[in-house]
């Protein structure tokens, strides 16, 4: 588990499986943003990326539910 995932999933009590799944989806989305920002291009708008965080997490959760 990455350091980002450790911090996100341990930030507060996760009482339901939905909260647990969401925390992991957010952690995965943060990993994507981190990977993009460390890329060679250096042209990443972090403000925009963080605005998209919830959308990215939604997409990750939807992909995990896909048949």
Rounded to 10 degrees, the C-alpha dihedral 20/24/29/33 comes to: 130
The pTM for the full model equals: 0.80
**How many whole angstroms separate alpha carbon 16 and alpha carbon 48?**
30
Take residue 63 and report the two structure tokens written for it. 């992909």
| Residues 19-67 pLDDT 10s | 889 999 999 999 999 988 887 666 889 999 999 999 999 999 999 887 6
């Amino acid at each position: 588990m990455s350091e980002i995932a450790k911090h996100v999933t341990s930030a507060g009590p996760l009482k339901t499986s939905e909260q647990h799944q969401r925390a992991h989806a957010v952690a995965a989305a943060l990993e994507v943003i981190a990977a993009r920002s460390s890329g060679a291009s250096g042209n990443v708008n972090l403000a925009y990326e963080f605005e998209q965080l919830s959308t990215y997490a939604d997409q990750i959760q939807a992909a995990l539910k896909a048949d």
